[in-house]
Amino acid sequence: MSKNVAVSTQGPLRSAGMPDPPSPYSISSTSSESSAPSTSVPGPSVGGPVEKGSVTDRRRAESLLVAENISKRFGGIAALSEMSLTVDRGEAVGVVGPNGAGKTTLFNCLLGIEIPDTGRIIFDGKRIDNLPVYKRARMGIARTFQRLELFSEMTVREHLLLAQRSARGRVSLLADLINHGSASKAEEELADHLLALLKLEDVADTAVDGLSLGHGRLVELGRALAMSPKLLMLDEPSSGLDYNETKALTKVLEQVREEQGVAVLLVEHDLEMVSEVVSRLYVLDFGRLIAEGMLDDVLSDTGVRQAYLGQVASGEGQR
């Protein structure tokens, strides 16, 4: 078994008697140029267990985010089953899986929108299991959503200013929403910087309900960055975007990581985008972790392709 990839098929990947649905993914046989070259170590055979709760004391001390044995049930449905994950400072990590795999539930547990049934979450050396969402945000966790969550009548600039002020708890959110708050020079400068970084200067004073979906995604990213996060959680950021918009968003994410050194936890269906952004990958299916490791090792492993992606790539990649 490869030392870089852990794979498990605990529980069925597909329910008994159900036909295999078409895979939402396709992978070319070549690795992303931006990823480190994979080693020639043979891939694992399917069936080797992923160790549960295997976060070592050293990893726990060194990582920015540690989630251990996170489980969450909704009635009789196990949305997550003993999921463990780490993200180092400045690292970009991906989480992939089909619809219903538990990716958004994982995000909601990490941010405090949902409370896990089991497990613990450590951020920047502190347990945050019982902290409300706003306190986790003020510790340095920012998130974007699969569906845009913006104030339709507010301008792009107002979103960036509001995010800064709410993150610091400086004034009432209501006061800002009715334009009774006043921005400091530092807040204005950061807003201007983010507008330039995201190439949104031309629409800075435009209400977001008049923007394209691609621009809306950038506004949501800018709002998250305005909180000066240590960890940026991105939930399906390319959802609804075309090829060119996705490439532009990927480039912005690369620039943000280079400039700010922020860690990224990315949930995404587009594996081309994933391969250009992250260096390490977790694979979820039916709430269970079925593989983890370095990006190229996980994606190139024959067992993972056959068991999870549903095919061995023929060399013809498509989006």
Can you spell out the DSSP letters for 176-220? HHTT-----HHHHHHHHHHHHHTT-GGGTTSBGGGS-HHHHHHHH
| Domain positions in the chain | 1-10+41-140+233-238+263-319
With pLDDT > 70 as the criterion, what percentage of the chain qualifies?
A: 71
Task: Specify the 3-state DSSP secondary structure of 312.
Answer: coil
pLDDT for 165: 80
**Structure tokens belonging to residue 77:** 């449905």
Each residue's pLDDT tens digit, 75-110: 989 999 999 999 999 999 999 888 888 999 999 999
Residue 309 and residue 34 in contact, taking contact as beta carbons nearer than 8 Å: no
Pairing of strands 280-285, 92-96: parallel
Which amino acid type is present at position 126?
Answer: K
Which residues does 86 contact at the CB level (< 8 Å), separation at least 6? 55, 59, 60, 63, 65, 66, 67, 93
Return the closest-CA partner of residue 65 out of 81, 35, 48, 89: 89
Entry field: residues in the chain: 319
Average pLDDT over residues 17-23: 37
Each residue's pLDDT tens digit, 138-149: 899 998 887 777
Each residue's pLDDT tens digit, 222-240: 899 998 899 999 998 988 8
**Structure tokens belonging to residue 199:** 């190439």
How many CA atoms are closer than 13 Å to the CA of 35, on its beta-carbon side? 28
- Type and span of the H or E element at 66: strand 65-74
d(CA 30, CA 300): 9
**Structure tokens belonging to residue 266:** 């990315």
pLDDT for 270: 87
The reported pTM is 0.74
Which residues does 162 contact at the CB level (< 8 Å), separation at least 6? 151, 154, 173, 176, 177, 223
CATH number of 1-10+41-140+233-238+263-319: 3.40.50.300
Average pLDDT over residues 41-46: 32
Asked if pLDDT for residue 56 goes beyond 50, the answer is yes
